[in-house]
Structure 1
């Protein structure tokens, strides 16, 4: 496994070793020891999630203000532009974002530690998105920051249409008004 820091060093692009031939491919999608070594600490995952979305769906920017979740995300089919936004007020990278294209073909994963808002935009006709979380889903603590907040300035890929949002995402807070981590 290769772990590469992004412009926000705590957010890592994880690339597994893929073994392929004419029959297809094989790779370890997760190895606890290798992952812990890559992030420099033991990380325990408690929940796995699977999301399928169609082209132009934008999910996010989501986080839980309590029971904060670290997320290890990947795409098994299709393509997404995946984004992490630092919402730790005491961080020198507060309000900054990083984005990575994750596809079923490139096998890349993104480690989004607790303390970050997370979202993705589907670039392919459909995408199957899998992610592990370090804490359980807690609806009472779920929060959302606007995907198009000008103060964050995410450069989402052009898809030729306005992204499709859930009602919850349509009313996301601006970062300046959002409940964030200290």
Structure 2
């Protein structure tokens, strides 16, 4: 049995522009090394297409806020460095992974741990598995300042990292690896 702390993880969260397919407007990456949540790296990005009104209502990022932000190509090397880990963690991971694969082209995504699927399996019987509901129930946002809020990449990445560490607990890596979770429906559609 392998200790889950033996892998280096990166927790990611992306916020998009509301177009289809979504383009990146904000990205945060939080390392977890030896079971310890590290410092967040985050970027605002000027998307190719404007941010839709709907997406702005969700994450609060306006076109004016990203007007002077770098285009993705300018920060790509830093993003690749931040994503260099044995495993990637995200809540409703297919959304984040999809955006990253489109933006990074030849990037090879490592093993993925989806906290949405893990929570369904390891915390059965919840009415919802939305990130906000789990964070509130488990008290995972206790010391975040007012600048970070739900649906912003930094906040969501930090609380997802805390959720993963909570779910991992004393489990082995084998116990955490993806197993059936009672269906693959997604409680949290891509809101951007």
Higher helix fraction: Structure 1 or Structure 2? 2
Same fold? TM cut 0.5: no
TM-score by length of 2: 0.30
